[in-house]
């Protein structure tokens, strides 16, 4: 692939992530007042403690205020929360599970991707760059039974680290699909290896990273949502061994159980084997 796509601006990808969140996730019941009171008081108390302990100055308070205003103006709340907060929410929400480990969803999932079957390729451009990946696996329940009606929704960045629908100039459903497993829970997915992902550096999140002397990288990853009737939805990401950011992911979302073991595959690419075990709902 020879076309060079411009990197998305923080504001463009942020606006799109905000729009997606509003469409998919704001239709929830009100949180009871006792719960809001408890949580809001504790969070504010933690902020007050930090101010006292470190004797925050007015200059620092105003820098914080300007930065928070910038997060909102740039549409970066979805990115900020998913990078620095979601991993703990996911940990708490899934601690009862006996099946597959999961991890955070992040800001770039889009429901309704094109459907595909066993042995199919994810939608991609002619000459999509990146090493070909052939992924075989099976979806079972925690009791070992094959899940005959399982679906693996897959989405990931391209070999430039860019996501369709969040970066300009990429076909709408590029590297996004919903794969149906067969009657025995087996699936085979053809795609290409994604590149590591750098969160936008030109917005408020990027400013925080620069001001704190951090880095903006996530290791290369494949996002999945695995579902089957009567089972809990599994949201996960799979990672590649030896990625330099597996140990210092800016989003703290890597778990050892989610690191793949690729082998040489067809067409100079890689073969990966990774199964999923779902908990009963």
Binding site for ligand MBD (CB under 6 A): 79, 82-83, 104, 106-108, 197, 199, 218, 251, 253
- Residue nearest to ligand MBD as judged by C-beta position: 106
Distance CA 79, CA 92 (A): 20
Q: Which is nearer to ligand MBD, 170 or 251 (CB)?
A: 251
Nearer to ligand MBD, 185 or 203 (CB): 203
Among Fe ion, ligand MBD, none, the one that 83 touches (CB under a kind-dependent 5 to 8 A) is ligand MBD
The secondary element (H helix, E strand) that includes residue 279 is none
Q: According to CB under 5 A, which one of 74, 99, 106, 269 is a site residue for Fe ion?
A: 106
189 vs 251 by CB, closer to ligand MBD: 251
Specify the residue, 79 or 204, whose C-beta has the smaller distance to Fe ion: 79
To the nearest whole angstrom, how small is the minimum distance from the Cβ of residue 240 to ligand MBD?
Answer: 14
Nearer to ligand MBD, 83 or 224 (CB): 83
Question: Quick check: 74 binds Fe ion (CB under 5 A)?
Answer: no
Q: Which is nearer to Fe ion, 94 or 164 (CB)?
A: 164
Q: Closest distance between ligand MBD and the C-beta of residue 147, in Å?
A: 25
The label of the residue with tokens 């679906």 reads: 151
Interface with Fe ion includes 200 (CB under 5 A)?
A: no
Nearest approach in angstroms of CB 197 to ligand MBD is 5
Distance from the first to the final alpha carbon of the chain? 43
DSSP per-residue codes, 186-231: EEEEEEEPPPPEE--SSSHHHHHHHHHT---EE--EEEEEEE-TTB
Q: Is the dihedral of CA 253, 259, 264, 270 positive or negative?
A: negative
Angle at 134 between CA 130 and CA 137, to 5 degrees: 140
Q: Which option in ligand MBD, Fe ion, none does residue 82 bind, with CB closer than 5 to 8 A by kind?
A: ligand MBD
**Cα 99 to Cα 94, 102, 281, distances in angstroms:** 10, 9, 11
Q: How far apart are CA 226 and CA 100, in angstroms?
A: 10
For binding to Fe ion (CB under 5 A), which residues are involved?
A: 106
């Amino acid at each position: 692939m020879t076309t060079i796509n411009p990197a998305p601006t923080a504001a463009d990808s942020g606006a799109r992530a905000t729009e997606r969140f509003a469409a998919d996730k704001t239709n929830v019941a009100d949180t009871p007042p006792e719960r809001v009171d408890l949580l809001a008081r504790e969070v504010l108390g933690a902020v007050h403690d930090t101010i006292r302990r470190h004797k925050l100055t007015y200059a620092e308070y105003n820098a914080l205020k300007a930065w928070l205003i910038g997060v909102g103006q740039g549409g970066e709340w979805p990115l900020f929360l998913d990078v620095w907060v979601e991993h703990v929410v996911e940990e708490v929400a899934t601690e009862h599970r006996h099946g597959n480990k999961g991890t955070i969803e992040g800001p770039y999932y889009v429901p309704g991707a094109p459907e595909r079957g066993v042995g199919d390729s994810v939608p991609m451009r002619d000459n999509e760059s990146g090493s070909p990946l052939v992924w075989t696996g099976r979806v079972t329940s925690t009791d070992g039974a094959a899940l005959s009606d399982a679906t693996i929704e897959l989405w990931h960045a391209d070999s430039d680290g860019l996501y369709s629908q969040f970066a300009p100039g990429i076909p709408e459903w590029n590297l996004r699909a919903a794969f149906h497993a067969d009657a025995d829970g087996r699936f085979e997915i053809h795609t290409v290896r994604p590149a590591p992902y750098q969160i936008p550096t030109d917005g408020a999140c990027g400013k925080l990273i620069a001001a704190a002397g951090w880095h903006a990288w996530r290791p290369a990853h494949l996002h999945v949502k695995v579902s089957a009737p009567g089972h809990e939805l599994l949201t996960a990401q799979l990672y590649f061994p030896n990625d330099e950011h597996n140990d210092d992911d800016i989003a703290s979302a890597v778990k050892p159980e989610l690191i793949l073991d690729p082998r040489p595959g067809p067409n100079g690419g890689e073969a990966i084997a990774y199964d999923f075990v779902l908990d009963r709902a």
